[in-house]
Structure 1
Amino acid sequence: MATFNVGDIVRLKSGGPMMTITGTLYSNYVCTWFVDGKESSANLPAEALYSKADVDAQEAAYLASIDAAFR
């Protein structure tokens, strides 16, 4: 199971905006994000989150696969 710290950037495994870990509540992480200037937050389990590094790696692999397909 992944462990996150306050200030880490994460995204839901199901997609959506990048979020910032702003705290913990019981065994969940408090995640905060903004869409069109509106702040939202939710308490989410670690199992539902990817770290920013994971998201970046997935996006790089996807772009590389597209690049390879057009060579």
Structure 2
Amino acid sequence: CRCGTCAVRILEGQENLSAMKDDEKKLLTRLELPLDGKVRLSCQARISGSGCKVDLSFQDEYDSDIGLDDGDNDDEV
């Protein structure tokens, strides 16, 4: 990932995601986003176990630009 448009806030189930790799950490740092595991790049984080609940608010500005914003920012995966 080079753009960060897939950044999501992890609301629940952080323990069900793969460990953050160096590339993801570097991009989150460049984007000035926290490295505490509560924000992840959905293209990098792999889900295991019973999944997680995410807040898509980081994507709002990008989604609305391309017409994908439905106004519902909480999604379970």
Please give the TM-score of this superposition, normalised by the length of structure 1. 0.26
Radius of gyration: which is bigger? 1
Q: Which has the higher contact order (CA 8 A, sep 6+)?
A: 2
- Which structure is higher in strand share? 1
Please give the TM-score of this superposition, normalised by the length of structure 2. 0.25
